[in-house]
């Protein structure tokens, strides 16, 4: 499994707008994507930044989405709220823990 970690500095106060836009645009963008396993958006309100952690079976599945016109159009909608360019890292999952996995 892989995680695509995207961090973006936002314009002051844009966090709630970006979260609402994510909830609106992400479901139709990913629901039929093979290899998409889930996503979470984190808002760092102290620094006006957003971090999205999207889980994928493999990097090629993410790349196919990221290269699509739909993805580029969606990112264009987000960009008006950005204070800088997105920083994207594709990371192989090293370890995962859940409450169930650490119970005795």
The angle formed by the CA atoms of residues 54, 27 and 100, to the nearest 5 degrees, is 50
The tally of domains found in the chain comes to 1
Indicate the pLDDT class of residue 46, thresholds 50, 70 and 90: confident
pLDDT in tens, 2-43: 999 999 999 999 999 999 999 999 999 999 999 999 999 999
| Any domain includes 104 | no
- Note whether residue 103 is domain-resident: no
Distance of CA 46 to the CA centre of its chain: 19
The number of beta carbons lying within 10 Å of the beta carbon of residue 9 is 16
Going by DSSP bridges, is the β-strand pair 49-56/2-9 parallel, antiparallel, or unpaired? antiparallel
Q: Is the residue at 102 inside a domain?
A: no
Domain-located, residue 38: yes
Tell me the average pLDDT across 79-98.
94
Domain range for 63 = 2-93
Min mean pLDDT across 17-21, 54-58, 84-88, 96-100 is at 96-100
Shortest CA distance to 10 belongs to which of 50, 41, 46? 50
**pLDDT for residue 45 is more than 80:** no
| DSSP string covering 6-23 | EEEEB-TT-HHHHHHHHH
Percent of the chain exceeding pLDDT 70 equals 100
CATH number of the domain residue 67 falls in: 3.30.70.100
């Amino acid at each position: 499994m892989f995680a695509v970690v995207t961090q973006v500095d936002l314009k002051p106060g844009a966090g709630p707008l970006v979260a609402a836009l994510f909830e609106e645009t992400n479901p139709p963008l990913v629901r039929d994507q093979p290899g998409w396993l889930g996503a979470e958006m984190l808002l760092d309100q102290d620094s006006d930044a957003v971090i999205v952690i999207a889980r994928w079976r493999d990097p090629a599945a993410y790349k196919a989405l990221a290269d699509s016109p739909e993805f580029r159009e969606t990112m264009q909608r987000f960009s008006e709220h950005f204070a800088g360019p997105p920083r994207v890292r594709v990371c192989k999952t090293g370890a995962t823990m859940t409450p169930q996995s650490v119970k005795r």
